[in-house]
Amino acid sequence: MSEVTNTTRALFYFILTGISGSEASHIWISIPFCCLYTISIVGNMTILAVIHTEPSFHQPMYLFLSILALTDLGLTLTTLLPTVMQLLWFNIRKISFEACFAQFFFLHGFSFTESSVLLAMSFDRYVAICRPHDYATIFTSKVIGRIGLAIICRCVLAVLPSLFLLKGLPFCCSHLLSHSYCLHLDMIHLVCADIQVKSWYGFALVLLIIVMDPLLIVLSYTFILKSILGTVSWTERFPALNNYLSHILAVLVLYVPMVGISMTHRFAKHASPLVHVITANISTCWHLL
């Protein structure tokens, strides 16, 4: 089995996959995707503009919300929009080795950023509801800045080792990806070398972020729900419950796609490639909603 060496790596490229068997309908399929991306971009830019111009929104909760909007914009503009739309509109399937790894970095980096921000938001809501008298002293501007810096460092340090480990491995002649963008679980299947170290690092990353973050979020919202239900007046419960449910929905919007793609790759390896493609595209649409 031949491998891609460092001397030929500059000429190496990956081939993205659309929805097999529907190439003639790609223009029609692109319409809902285009509408969805437009709604996502306009919606997130509106959120940023409103938070920036309204002084009453210059609070930790809305600052975290603005970070979520920025990560959604980054995810759309740097990964999903360029490759998915050029594939559907112009049938451009080739993506260079460097561009694919750059997309891999941004895709997983922004996803981990969203997870970290949702964790910070859950802690923010816990302090605001369970310890309201200490909220102003805990969430100062300096603390928020440190949280933002910690989120950036955490996500970059989580993705970079995985990126360098994968980039240093030899890829086989097969360079056909299963999705319309460069996904880590998809790329690693094209490696023709021992990936035990890479697998252990990926497992540790899953435990630290994809498993640990939701557990801590669930723990925070359990305490929040307990505090809300302990409120005597129902007039005080309803606003808090509405805020609580909106945060729970935001968490589900992020983690349902991540878990869906991961489970499909790990437990449906021998399923039709169409299953993987449809799962990835549905997850993308769900995420942007």
Range of the domain at 58: 3-288
Residue 3 has what pLDDT? Answer: 47
Residue 32 has what pLDDT? Answer: 80
Residue 50 has what pLDDT? Answer: 92
Residue 5 has what pLDDT? Answer: 47
Instruction: Compute mean pLDDT per 10 residues along the chain, 289 residues long, and list them.
Output: 47 76 75 82 90 87 87 82 83 86 88 88 87 86 89 88 81 76 80 72 74 85 82 67 72 64 54 54 55
Query: What's the pTM?
Result: 0.80
**Which CATH number covers residue 125?**
1.20.1070.10
Residue 53 has what pLDDT? Answer: 92
**Secondary structure string (H, E, C) spanning the chain:** CCEECCCCHHHCEEECCCCCCCHHHHHHHHHHHHHHHHHHHHHHHHHHHHHHHCHHHCCHHHHHHHHHHHHHHHHHHHHHHHHHHHHHHHCCCEEEHHHHHHHHHHHHHHHHHHHHHHHHHHHHHHHHHHCHHHHHHHCCHHHHHHHHHHHHHHHHHHHHHHHHHHHCCCEECCCECCCCCCCHHHHHHHECCCCHHHHHHHHHHHHHHHHHHHHHHHHHHHHHHHHHHCCCCHHHHHHHHHHHHHHHHHHHHHHHHHHHHHHHHHHCCCCCHHHHHHHHHHHHHHHHC
User: How many structural domains does the chain have?
Assistant: 1
